[in-house]
Structure 1
Amino acid sequence: MKSHDCHVFMQTLIPLAFCDLLSKGIWDALTEISHFFRDICSSKLNVDHIERLQTNIVETLCKLEMIFPPSFFDSMEHLPIHLPFEAKAGGPVQYRWMYPFERYLFNLKKKVKNKAHVEASICEAYIVEEISTFISYYFEPHLRTRINRVPRHDDGGEVPSSGNLSIFSNTGRPTPKNVVRGRYLSEIEFKQAHNYVLFNCDELQTATPTA
């Protein structure tokens, strides 16, 4: 699992996953640490609530020390004691955590072509991308570049409607050759298509109900 998956598991799923498998004392300790991280990562923070968290996390860690062996505890298990003060000083954690940087590092790792020189390969690919983006500003508008390329879901714009409803004025894209063209919709797909027409058709939105 990725680090964000582990974070969600720790915040949300631990109380649900072990409620019937563990004794009440162990389950309470795990639930308290789960609620602690959930409250710390909330979008809005209250100073009084953070101070209560700073007091309660000490008791929670003491309960965990009674459950897990001493080899389990290292600097990471001591870190939650400092998180309430960090949240009180720095604000909501969404503006300070590392997930956006981890996703960007993933994009940089995809640029590696020569594994014998990883750093040089990333630097070269990054410089080429920056230069190509900068130069594309000086091209003619009709030339397709990184700046004005067509979005992936653009299928050519609207065409004259082939029916009485405006929602069918878009031609769409042809399916690939390896995809079966003719098939029946499942019940879920039919309901989704039906709801899409009801919610996106201009004629239905402007129609006045009749008595």
Structure 2
Amino acid sequence: MHIEKNVFDNIFNTIMDIKGKTKDNFKARKDLKLYCNRPELHVNEDERGKLFMPKASYSLTIEQKREVCNCIRNLRMLDGYASNISHCVKGDCEFYEIKSHDCHIFMQRLLPIAFKDLLSKPIWEALIELSHFFRDICSTVLRVKDMEQLEQNIVVILCKLEKIFPPGFFDSIEHLSIHLAYKAKVGGRVQYCWMHPFERFLHHLKKKVKNRAHVEASIVEAYLVEETSTFCSLYFDQHVETRLNRVLRNDDGGFVNPKGRLSIFTHSG
């Protein structure tokens, strides 16, 4: 989960050329001059002797970045499929607080669409292959032969990315992607391994903190109150609204059956 998020952050921030987060900087361009034969990306000097970086083919222009931002602002997802990603866009092409699950959705579903007409075909195809790799890894059905094929595909995908991005783009996170297919082949579905439910639960617990001088005790006290009140609500009459028979958030006016509880709790206490 975190590998996918970090890979997405590196790709998205570099393509969008987000200041302070992009992997395409002066240090990366200097490394490019030492280790790669790509003179079109080398740091040059202008007439005044000031260093500047030529525009890279994998980096979007201002107009293209605004087009991507407008697309994300107008994006609408199914309820429960993802959060409101449009809230991540602030001001003029500035992104804030893209959560890990939003990165998961963007990496697997939106990345090939967002940059389809903005990047050259070789770069776009490499991003599509990377997106399909993470989508296949997160599939609900995993076959051994498919995972063995993905082990070979990810090596080729990273080689294609090395021809596109500078050496500074690649760190330990990109290398860890090579081991994901083997881990899925040995450990099974990744849905049983990632941290999404645990991070949501930790966020739920952190909201209970009222006394910052005693954080753990505050969480324990609030959690015990919540569990006790929930258990007691099992003995309430059916017409009393509790968290167990509360109308759903997207209720269409239908009938909510209050008898979906154990028979022991249907008797008056």
TM-score (norm 1): 0.63
Q: Which residue of 2 aligns with 1:209?
A: none
Is 2:113 the counterpart of 1:16?
Answer: yes
Q: Which amino acid aligns with 1:103?
A: R
Is 2:245 the counterpart of 1:151?
Answer: yes
- Alignment partners' CA distance in 1, 2:192 and 2:144: 18
1:25-104 paired onto structure 2 within 5 Å: 25-104=122-201
* Aligned partner of residue 116 in structure 2, secondary structure: coil
- Alignment partners' CA distance in 2, 1:149 and 1:59: 51
User: Which deviations, in whole Å up to 9, do the C-alpha atoms of 1:21-78 show, x marking residues without a partner?
Assistant: 1111111111111000000001101111110100110111111122222222222111
RMSD: 3.0
**Segments ≥4 residues shifted beyond 6 Å:** 143-146
Cα deviation for residue 130 of structure 1 reads 3.7
TM-score (norm 2): 0.50
Aligned residues: 154
- Alignment partners' CA distance in 2, 1:44 and 1:73: 30
- Quick one: percent identity of the two aligned structures? 63
Q: Which residue of 2 aligns with 1:203?
A: none
- Alignment partners' CA distance in 2, 1:16 and 1:143: 49
1:119-198 paired onto structure 2 within 5 Å: 119-133=216-230, 136=232, 151-153=245-247
Structure with greater contact order relative to length (CA < 8 Å, sep ≥ 6): 2
Structure of larger gyration radius: 1
Q: Which amino acid aligns with 2:226?
A: E
Cα deviation for residue 89 of structure 1 reads 0.9
1:150–1:56 distance in 2 versus 1, CA, 3 Å: closer
Cα deviation for residue 107 of structure 1 reads 0.9
Cα deviation for residue 115 of structure 1 reads 2.4
- Alignment partners' CA distance in 2, 1:16 and 1:118: 44
Q: Which residue of 1 aligns with 2:203?
A: 106
Q: Which amino acid aligns with 1:58?
A: V
Cα deviation for residue 144 of structure 1 reads 9.4
Q: Which runs of 5 or more residues in structure 2 are unaligned? A: 1-97, 256-269
Q: Which residue of 1 aligns with 2:104?
A: 7
Q: Which runs of 5 or more residues in structure 1 are unaligned? A: 155-167, 171-211
- Alignment partners' CA distance in 1, 2:203 and 2:214: 17
